[in-house]
Structure 1
Amino acid sequence: MSVPAGMRLLRQGELQVGKPLPWPLYDRCGMLLLQRGRVIESDSQLEILLDRSCLISEADARSARTAAEPPPPPPEPKTPFEAMDALKLDIGLLHRQLLSGTASGVAERVARMAADLECAFARDTDAVLASMQLQLDPCDHAARQAHAAILCVFAARTLRLDDGIVRGLTGAALTYDVALGPLANELNGQSERLDSGQMEQVQAHPEAAARLLENAGVDDPVWLDAVLHHHERLDGSGYPHGLRGEDIPCPTRLLAIVDIYTAMLRPRTYRDAMPARMALRSIFLERGQLVDDALAAALIKELGVYPPGTLVRLANDEIGIVVRRGEDATHPLVFRLMTAEGYRASVTVPRDTREPEFQIVDAVSHDRYPGLAGNAAALWK
């Protein structure tokens, strides 16, 4: 029997007694027999329809299958590590567009980045902090801006700053070094002193960044002031305007501390990376003179002496990684990565650093143990 184009024979099992038809049913000549929705009332009626070689439209059959299929499950939310990788890409694109004068919707884009940060913090604050502690490549300019934003949002939440101030501070943290980006790799790889031209560019980068942002439509005073004055110091020794004390607003002071800290953690040609503990100690010693005393103390207290993602040596000579902040700044939760004999541990075992055997002796540089923390992100899943 020939079948009209676009039609096919009804198949065994496609109809059920007591269920409405999912599509119209036609006879062998293509004439309508039953409308969609009609209910097959008995087994005998079903047998008759099958015996008569009824037809259905192939298009109707496809449509019915599609409608019957459950919707795809929503995508799994990004892990904090994935969210921070995406944030770096967004920052890199935004900076390139700001530098080329093609950036648009900057405030809205930064607001979305800030919202993503807040979501990541809500899922796992320690994982977010660790995600940047594990990415300290000095050539990754976007990673440092992401790191600054993470620390600013973390500190602002701890200090319970007003939402408007947090928005402006986050925008500043994501963009404050945009004008320094093209020069950053050159400076990071340079062992000799800066020449006069380079020094002039460095001194001018806060004003250049503020102009780029203003040209792109940014008018938030907190954002612009923090970008313009993040190199000012309480004693007046900073630049570009030599501001002192209370002339430097609180959000700007906080970004200044974060900028110093994230720079210290990253190696330079002329010096090794500074462990987080030493960087925080250096900031602590400068409190009240160069940086804000209360803000520095609050950041150190909440971040901990050994922030998540820090490699540490324990009293028993094991090397571990800080996974969770502890009840106090000096006793975080650590997972062993290397045995006391110097072998990579096949099993990651938690260590309670309050116990004498597992107390932290010192932080160690990731550069000293390359690849040791390569798969550490799994510890936060």
Structure 2
Amino acid sequence: MAQTSVNLAGMRPLRQGDLQVGKPLACAIYDRHGILLLQRGGVVENENQLETLLERDCLIASACAAGGNDAQADAPAPCAPPTPFEAMDQLQRDVGQMHRRLLAGSASGIGKQVAQMAASIDDALARDTDAALASMQLQLDPNDHAARQAHAAIICVFAARTLHLDADALTALTGAALTYDVALGPLATQLNSQSERLSADQLDQVRAHPEASRRMLEAASVDDPLWLEAVLHHHERLDGSGYPHGLRGDGIPHLARLLGIVDIYTAMLRPRTYRDAVPARMALRNIFLERGKQVDEALATLLIKELGVYPPGTLVRLANDEIGVVLHRGGDAAHPQVSRLMTAEGYRASVAVVRDTHAAEFQIVDSVPHGRYPGLLPNIAALWN
């Protein structure tokens, strides 16, 4: 997906002394075209990544001193801040890096990393909520495990604003959303591409992953009980059909109930070998039908109301046969603002035209799978700039 470049004025070449493996970056790093590669605060994971960055003729703000001492790190950068799309791209990379460290047993400072990620999500949502939501709705690769957890975290933080959670609960929810399936990561790609039924061993691994994820977090010194219990119980269901403990009703923690719904939603949006991706409106409908049975009714209703029937980033077909993308949620769930991408005659639109879906000719008649029109997606992020 295309990213917006920045003004190269005030930039200088990246040097060896600007980077240290495992140490947060004092300033953002850009490629030679001005495309953001790593945000300030991101971490170079290993020597290979460090060498790659140095070999790519990367750029950094001139105000950033080599070695990144704190005084220079706080100097104002001459570059524009990352767009929500860029920030969420970086979030996915950061989540993937954190997961790899948790799986390797070498993670440290998880609480601080999650706080930085939470701040990035908050900033992206504050700057343009619909752009932040769209950035993930447009990236539904089933094999990008970190992207799905980043998606879940954005939706959880977004929904939590309406719930008015206190700071501690919001921190716990964000941490849980970014890490709840970490133990399932090594198995996820295989399961997503598998058409046959799970083996007994695979089923045991799936049912054990909430507890395994909690143990990994505890080993990394995460001791927030709200965070840990949300991870442990996100597969519990109101009717007792969930796992690992078969909890029922009020026995399921509130944060785990919300995380469980978001987990169901983000899973359905992503295709599997044995099924196509479920359109957002159908995924939300399926969740709504389970309200009060398997999922919390109030939370399911809230999610649908806030996201809308067609969340930002959804490709849709209009009554006049145009194909468009949902830009912004509307005043009601079924009538968002749509930008035309393809004309009724089947040509890619050369000019972005915004459609009011309240009008009869521009009403949404169906969702469209992203894979059907891949040529429409490059540079689509610019629609939210």
Check whether TM > 0.5. yes
1:294: how far off?
A: 0.2
1:73: how far off?
A: 4.8
Aligned residue in 2 for 1:310: 314
Gaps of 5+ in 2: 1-74
Provide, for residues 311-370 of structure 1, a one-character-per-residue CA deviation record: whole Å limited to 9, x for no partner.
001010111000000001011000000111111111111100011110111111111212
Aligned residue in 2 for 1:369: 373
Provide, for residues 91-138 of structure 1, a one-character-per-residue CA deviation record: whole Å limited to 9, x for no partner.
011000001110000111101100111011111000000000000000
CA distance in 2 between partners of 1:194 and 1:328 (Å):
41
CA distance in 2 between partners of 1:200 and 1:72 (Å):
52
Is 1:225 the counterpart of 2:229 in the alignment? yes
CA distance in 2 between partners of 1:128 and 1:72 (Å):
24
Q: Choose from 99, 105, 110 the match for 1:101.
A: 105
Q: Choose from 301, 304, 310 the match for 1:300.
A: 304
Aligned residue in 1 for 2:256: 252
Provide, for residues 259-296 of structure 1, a one-character-per-residue CA deviation record: whole Å limited to 9, x for no partner.
00000000000000011000000000000000000000
CA distance in 2 between partners of 1:171 and 1:201 (Å):
22
Amino acid at match of 2:233: H
Amino acid at match of 1:317: D
State the TM-score, normalized to the length of structure 2. 0.80
Aligned residue in 2 for 1:167: 171
Give SS of 1:371's match.
helix
Provide, for residues 151-199 of structure 1, a one-character-per-residue CA deviation record: whole Å limited to 9, x for no partner.
0000001211111111000000000010000000000010110111111
CA distance in 2 between partners of 1:255 and 1:371 (Å):
33
Q: Choose from 345, 348, 352 the match for 2:349.
A: 345
Alignment of 1:51-200 (within 5 A): 73-200=77-204
CA distance in 1 between partners of 2:338 and 2:93 (Å):
30
CA distance in 2 between partners of 1:79 and 1:371 (Å):
22
Amino acid at match of 1:294: A
Moved over 6 A (4+): none
Alignment of 1:276-295 (within 5 A): 276-295=280-299
Provide, for residues 40-90 of structure 1, a one-character-per-residue CA deviation record: whole Å limited to 9, x for no partner.
xxxxxxxxxxxxxxxxxxxxxxxxxxxxxxx98533111000100110111
Aligned residue in 2 for 1:207: 211
Q: Choose from 335, 344, 347 the match for 1:331.
A: 335
CA distance in 1 between partners of 2:158 and 2:76 (Å):
35
Give SS of 2:204's match.
helix
CA distance in 2 between partners of 1:164 and 1:74 (Å):
34
CA distance in 1 between partners of 2:221 and 2:349 (Å):
52
CA distance in 2 between partners of 1:192 and 1:370 (Å):
28
User: Would the alpha carbon gap of residues 250 and 344 (structure 1) be closer, same or farther in structure 2, given more than 3 Å must change?
Assistant: same
Give SS of 2:82's match.
coil
Gaps of 5+ in 1: 1-70
Aligned residue in 1 for 2:240: 236
CA distance in 2 between partners of 1:274 and 1:163 (Å):
34
Q: Answer 1 or 2: higher relative contact order, Cα 8 Å, separation at least 6.
A: 2
CA distance in 2 between partners of 1:330 and 1:376 (Å):
22
Aligned residue in 1 for 2:10: none
Provide, for residues 16-35 of structure 1, a one-character-per-residue CA deviation record: whole Å limited to 9, x for no partner.
xxxxxxxxxxxxxxxxxxxx
State the TM-score, normalized to the length of structure 1. 0.81
Structure with greater Cα Rg: 1
User: Would the alpha carbon gap of residues 361 and 91 (structure 1) be closer, same or farther in structure 2, given more than 3 Å must change?
Assistant: same
Aligned residue in 2 for 1:19: none
Aligned residue in 1 for 2:36: none
Identity of aligned residues (%): 74
User: Would the alpha carbon gap of residues 240 and 73 (structure 1) be closer, same or farther in structure 2, given more than 3 Å must change?
Assistant: closer
CA distance in 2 between partners of 1:73 and 1:208 (Å):
42
Amino acid at match of 1:316: N
Give SS of 2:154's match.
helix
Q: Choose from 267, 271, 275 the match for 1:267.
A: 271
Q: Choose from 318, 323, 332 the match for 1:319.
A: 323
